[in-house]
A and B are shown apart, each in its own frame.
Chain A
Amino acid sequence: MTQTDLTRLTATQIAGLVASGAASAVEVTRAHLDRIAAVDDRVNAFLHVDTEGALAAAAAVDARRAAGEELGPLAGVPVAVKDVLTTKGVPTTVGSRILEGWRPPYDSTIVQRLRAAGTVMLGKTNMDEFAMGSSTEYSAYGPTHNPWDLSRIPGGSGGGSSAALAAYEAPLAIGSDTGGSIRQPGAVTGTVGAKPTYGGTSRYGLVAFSSSLDTPGPCARNVLDAALLHEVIGGHDPRDSTSIPQPVPDVVAAARLGATGDLTGVKLGIVTEFVGEGAEPGVMAAFRESVDALAKLGAEIVEVSCPHFRYALPAYYLIAPSEASSNLARFDGVRFGLRVGDDGNRSLEEVMSLTREAGFGPEVKRRIMIGTYALSSGYYDAYYGQAQKVRTLITRDFTAAFERVDALISPTTPFVAFPIGARTADPYQMYLADLFTIPTNLYGGPGISVPCGLSDGLPVGFQIMAPTMADDRMYRVAAALESVVGTFTPPAL
């Protein structure tokens, strides 16, 4: 099998080859490293490629196999990790200048579990600085380009992870979703991205943007691979107090069940508020066709109104920046990362200010200022307090909806990948990219984006939202849809 072939395989296929000895993990890893070397100067999906570490990990898997050890379902499969997760000894920048050169002394729980499962970490992927953005244009290390059209954005903040999948640089990737940062890049790159239930995946070692919303999750080119990755990284972690002490829902079985193409007895609710104005016609057309396809598989389709979803975006842009303003305080030049202006004469406050001025990009500064203001004495009740009330109302909308339907559905994002530079001048236009994904984060339930068609040659994502700790449901529906519409391959790079 040629090296090119190895990069085109699913994770399931790669694991099978490695387990049977038809291909070594080292061969598989080299194929992907070669692919990265060949295309990443154009895609810019990776901030750091850990060639040595990847080959060592692959060799270890091959050695375990040679010793007759039982290998896990993803052993030997390469994975790209969003640069938001700490990796011991491997640079972790969060897409920011302020952490340039920082090598964490510890692994995040997700990365620990990836290593324990025998996956091979290729490197760290590009992202909007501190995961704040919807296009990866706010990375301090240059934008990532969408493999479908290199002049367009790959979504964000996890554009690097999704673009790496679409460019066949990696078969699996890890993202983090605070307002849609896994699902929206998945949608615009024609890949699968799942945001697990909040607390279903550990945040230990995830550099915090908004603690009550951040959720690490799996990215893949097909639903089953995503489910397999979800199973490996999910589950309770005593190092994260907000982690749920329950087993991971059986997402792999659900994906296999869905792939049979039978949705008899499944009731799906179209979110009324998300199919009116707001979404592009091409997006709506692909969405409607997919709904019809799901109906043909036996699903019952109804419309469900979630009246408070319209307040989700403003509530999110108070809660997330408020938490961020506090979470990002520690980047002060004292203990790690960038330090600017420490010439022995300047005061501590001046050095802190100069460091933060130089180290943070414009979107991060904007959100720190919004958040600082919203938490200020005298404004707290009107902003942060009010936003928390809206959050409760949105949760009630979800709870009420799930009394009627098994899952909610909508387009993942209102528009397909837009040209690089098209929305950076107007933050609000950028924020709209997450209009349909944010409610799930505020509620804490799981959501998945699965490719459902093309609009003018660009991928459209289909979103399925399920009740908390019912992640399996969305995998079943996603796999069923995939069984009808198939997967999508971008033009050759």
Chain B
Amino acid sequence: MTTTLPAYDEVVARYEPVIGLETHVELGTNTKMFCGCPTDFGGEPNTRVCPVCLGLPGSLPVANKAAIEATIRIGLALNCSIAEWCRFARKNYFYPDMPKDFQISQYDEPLCFEGYLDVEVDGELVRIGIERVHLEEDTGKTLHVGGATGRIHGATESLVDYNRAGIPLVEIVTKPVPGTGALAPEVARAYVTELRDVIRSLGVSDVRMEEGSLRCDVNTSLNLPGAQWGTRTETKNVNSLRSVERAVRSEIIRQASVLDAGGRITQETRHFHEDTGDTTPGRSKETATDYRYFPEPDLVPLAPDTAWVAELKAALPELPRLHRRRLQEQWGLSDADMQSVLNAGAVELIEQTVAAGASPAAARKWWLGELSRRANETGVELADIGATPAQVAELQGLVDAGKLNDKLARAVLEGVVTGEGSPTQIMTDRGLEVVSDTGALTAAVDEAIAANPDIADKIRSGKVAAAGALVGAVMKTTRGQADAKTVRELILERLGA
């Protein structure tokens, strides 16, 4: 059966969406939340484990102070109050990737609570309320093998890797966000983007959605104007910023079609599918677990020293939104130009390139031009393209000094990206420096004159414009490395024109 889904614009004209977001951020601490195991991504399965993160009988957790500090800094950056006293709690449920069959989390006493984050959508500021920011431990990863889909159905075996088990995880929960109307999907995306930038600016996580260090669940409900809020669904498996927006949009349309048909929305978890842009039902709440939360008796309560919290607050970096505004002014960019820098994910890269000595215009030209093009082609993040801001600044320095022309600079950049070395090194090794030494060029010019007697005659007879053809010939034999202006002067000189 196929049903025709209503159009989005038409739906949001009749229904009011309410959204809410739960975001999980893996902290970039050196060690796990409750033991001394390393946290780096990757590694052979079950090699970064110990009795504690394997939940062996008798083992006990000890809280990681760096993780607590990072969580408090996130809370402060999100304008939260910091609990003077709070506890960890056990969330009890059976699952093989949870070594203890309970997760150490926080329940009714979160470390940070009651904050907000302002985000910009279409030039307007939207304030997103933050309900809570709490700290917990990540689970291991289960791999189902032997089946066609990689899912549990049809699999012959399930393997568990506990390397991730116990990595500190911060959960950030918004309050419900009503009143955004048709902009709800964009608000959701803007919030996650801004949150990511805030956390990145704190240096506490690499916040990469593709690697799972930033994960997002999206709650959506619809109601008629003036009516009570509707039943919400929770959409999981939303793994990119674009998916955040698409998931909200798709769920708004789906819920409207159910409501239009006289149906009711079931409170459930749904899964977002990147390929189709749809959501499908996940675990039904009928089999919902009673997590039997209770205070974790193996850990003492947390009571962050108020003076310490005040110190952390004073040392917070400038908020990304304000920072960006300042940069835009410094770089003299229009809103549209700044937006394209933002979209390319190039703010920090350009900033660092300028700091390394390049002009803002040149820095922007390289990152948004040649490097963005390559990033798009190869499907990697701009920051991972292989060129550093310092290298780009060095490259531009060589251009400014007249040692490279635009074409040669691009060839050098190619070498930088493929890891050949620094721009100066590559220029020297590959012999790409512009040749403006007249001695070295005279031979090439004489050769070109001898090979093209007709053109030479024309020039001798005063048709100076014909010199272009000879310049081209010289450029060809010098593989573009000659300084065109010098070549032209030499030709005219030799032909007495």
Q: List the interface of chain A (C-beta within 8 A of B).
A: 85-86, 92, 94, 99, 102, 104-106, 108, 203-208, 210-212, 238-242, 322-323, 325-326, 329-332, 334-336, 344, 348-349, 352, 372, 375-377, 380, 384
Chain A residues near B63 (CB, 8 Å)? 241
The answer to whether B102 and A94 have CB atoms under 8 Å apart is no
**Could you say which of B54, B59, B90, B156 contacts A326, with CB atoms under 8 Å apart?**
B90
Known: A104-B57, A208-B58, A330-B55. A242 touches B298 (CB 8 A): yes
How many Å lie between the Cα of A380 and that of B90 in the bound state?
Answer: 14
Least CB distance from B93 to A in Å reads: 9
**Could you say which of B54, B58, B61, B297 contacts A205, with CB atoms under 8 Å apart?**
B58
Chain B residues near A211 (CB, 8 Å)? 297-298
Least CB distance from B384 to A in Å reads: 36
How many Å lie between the Cα of A372 and that of B101 in the bound state?
Answer: 14
Known: A326-B92, A332-B101. A204 touches B300 (CB 8 A): no
**Could you say which of A238, A241, A344 contacts B61, with CB atoms under 8 Å apart?**
A241
B96 interface residue, CB < 8 Å from A?
A: yes
The answer to whether A336 and B56 have CB atoms under 8 Å apart is yes
How many Å lie between the Cα of A377 and that of B293 in the bound state?
Answer: 8
Instruction: Give B38-69 interface residues, CB cut-off 8 Å to A.
Output: 51, 54-63
Chain A residues near B96 (CB, 8 Å)? 332, 334, 348
Known: A105-B51, A377-B292, A380-B294. A326 touches B102 (CB 8 A): yes
B290 interface residue, CB < 8 Å from A?
A: yes
Q: Which residue of B lies closest to A371 (CB)?
A: B292
B495 interface residue, CB < 8 Å from A?
A: no
The answer to whether A330 and B99 have CB atoms under 8 Å apart is yes
Chain B residues near A336 (CB, 8 Å)? 56-57
B408 interface residue, CB < 8 Å from A?
A: no
B30 interface residue, CB < 8 Å from A?
A: no
**Could you say which of A238, A325, A348 contacts B158, with CB atoms under 8 Å apart?**
A348
Q: Which residue of B lies closest to A385 (CB)?
A: B294
Least CB distance from A301 to B in Å reads: 36
The answer to whether B294 and A322 have CB atoms under 8 Å apart is yes
The 4 closest A-B pairs by CB, nearest first: A329-B101, A211-B297, A375-B292, A212-B297
Least CB distance from B289 to A in Å reads: 10
Chain A residues near B300 (CB, 8 Å)? 241-242
Q: Which residue of B lies closest to A384 (CB)?
A: B294
Chain B residues near A376 (CB, 8 Å)? 290, 292
19 A-B contact pairs sorted by A residue (CB < 8 Å) = A86-B58, A94-B57, A104-B57, A204-B60, A205-B59, A239-B62, A241-B298, A241-B299, A326-B92, A326-B102, A326-B292, A329-B101, A330-B57, A330-B100, A332-B94, A334-B160, A335-B54, A352-B94, A375-B293
Least CB distance from A193 to B in Å reads: 21
Chain A residues near B90 (CB, 8 Å)? 326
Q: Knowing that A106-B56, A380-B294 touch, tell me 5 more A-B residue pairs with CB under 8 angstroms.
A: A85-B58, A99-B57, A208-B58, A242-B297, A332-B101
Least CB distance from A350 to B in Å reads: 12
Least CB distance from B86 to A in Å reads: 15
How many Å lie between the Cα of A379 and that of B269 in the bound state?
Answer: 26
How many Å lie between the Cα of A105 and that of B61 in the bound state?
Answer: 17
Chain B residues near A108 (CB, 8 Å)? 58
Chain A residues near B62 (CB, 8 Å)? 238-241
Chain A residues near B60 (CB, 8 Å)? 203-204, 239-241
Chain A residues near B158 (CB, 8 Å)? 348
Least CB distance from B133 to A in Å reads: 22
Known: A377-B292, A380-B294. A335 touches B55 (CB 8 A): yes
The answer to whether A204 and B292 have CB atoms under 8 Å apart is no
How many Å lie between the Cα of A94 and that of B67 in the bound state?
Answer: 34
Q: Which residue of A lies closest to B290 (CB)?
A: A377
